[in-house]
Copies of this chain bind each other. A is one copy, B any other.
Amino acid sequence: MEPSQVVESAREPGRQQRMSVICWSSDLDRVWPTLILATTGAASGLDVNIFFTFWGLRVLQKNNKRVTGGNWMQIGESIVDRGGTGHLKLGKVHFGGLGTWMIKRLAKQHKVADPEELFQMAVDLGVRLYPCQMTMDLYGLSKDDFVEGLEPPVGAASFIEMASESDFTLFI
């Protein structure tokens, strides 16, 4: 899959249109729209950046990485809050706990790609995926805990630079 075109910014002639997203949550119902917008944006010819921070950092974790962190708090948090695009859950208890299973099933019936597939599409389409360095420190996560294809970790100052050069920026 390749972007069909490069779209020019309406605001700054001569520059590619750019969108940035803060992925702050690891809830399925927030990560899904994040990845749909990111892949759609990239496929439409935009330059797309996502900054994964706070709960959202867990999205970048390898699906088979069960326990992470160095001290008991970090280890405990990693067990309670399982990471990886294959393990995301809805942000609210829904439909008596069946919600996550059900929405994934509905999506499959309607051929909507799931978060694992969308994430890989994002990488393939050149979406830039930035882990937040500060959150990595808090969680005790290192590069080895993450999937392939990410940019180097950055901090809030880099995100602000990204956002201020973007045509639009969303906090999701």
Contact A106 B73 (CB under 8 A): yes
Cβ of A68 under 8 Å from chain B: no
Contact A103 B164 (CB under 8 A): no
Q: How far is the CB of A81 from chain B (nearest CB, A)?
A: 7
A170 neighbours in B (Cβ, 8 Å) = 22, 169-171
Contact of A138 among B106, B165, B172 (CB under 8 A): B106
Cβ of A40 under 8 Å from chain B: yes
Contact of A19 among B11, B91, B138, B164 (CB under 8 A): B164
Nearest residue (CB) in B for A79 is B95
In angstroms, Cα B10 to Cα A55, docked, is 31
Cβ of A123 under 8 Å from chain B: no
Nearest residue (CB) in B for A95 is B80
Cβ of A37 under 8 Å from chain B: yes
A44 neighbours in B (Cβ, 8 Å) = 157, 160-161
Q: How far is the CB of A110 from chain B (nearest CB, A)?
A: 5
Contact B81 A164 (CB under 8 A): no
Contact of A40 among B19, B74, B102, B156 (CB under 8 A): B156
In angstroms, Cα B10 to Cα A12, docked, is 8
Contact of A168 among B12, B137, B164 (CB under 8 A): B164
Cβ of A6 under 8 Å from chain B: no
A43 neighbours in B (Cβ, 8 Å) = 157
Contact B160 A138 (CB under 8 A): no
Q: How far is the CB of A172 from chain B (nearest CB, A)?
A: 5
